[in-house]
A and B are shown apart, each in its own frame.
Chain A
């Protein structure tokens, strides 16, 4: 069965600093990978997704992620964060041939001015 591990429950950074949110997955077959963002008291919305092809994926709001098959990782990065990026971020995995989407435990990103 697939699983997702988000290594950091909270990440505090200063405004305009770079940030990396880490995600590792386990699966014996090929997968689809996602990053979702949840703003306070809202549902989840998609930031970006990896299905196949280029391992560097660009998403909305200046975020990008890199798929590394050998390290089974899909880390999320942004070169310069803004106060509005304060939110909880979830990594998720779905087997290419299955229908379940499994989420990690989330990383709370807090931006300090």
Chain B
């Protein structure tokens, strides 16, 4: 299985940059996802990393270090609408079907 660790809560102000970290067990790792979930809604896909390095997509970037079992999601130019829970998920094992989610990081953006 997997033990995924991410901070429970973070706060930031509009226009700022925030980095949400995620650590996981490296054994069996097969890819890492970041999802955004607004209160009362379904998760929506943000990014996917399977190789080391930074993936940039507009205001959002995601970084992966496979050897360290570490990823982060970087959100730039924060907006109020970015207030949400951010979920780190690891695809585990050779079948590719197993997905383990962290407990989520609740980000609150203040004006």
Q: Do A and B bind each other?
A: no
Which residues of A are in contact with B by a Cβ distance under 8 Å? none
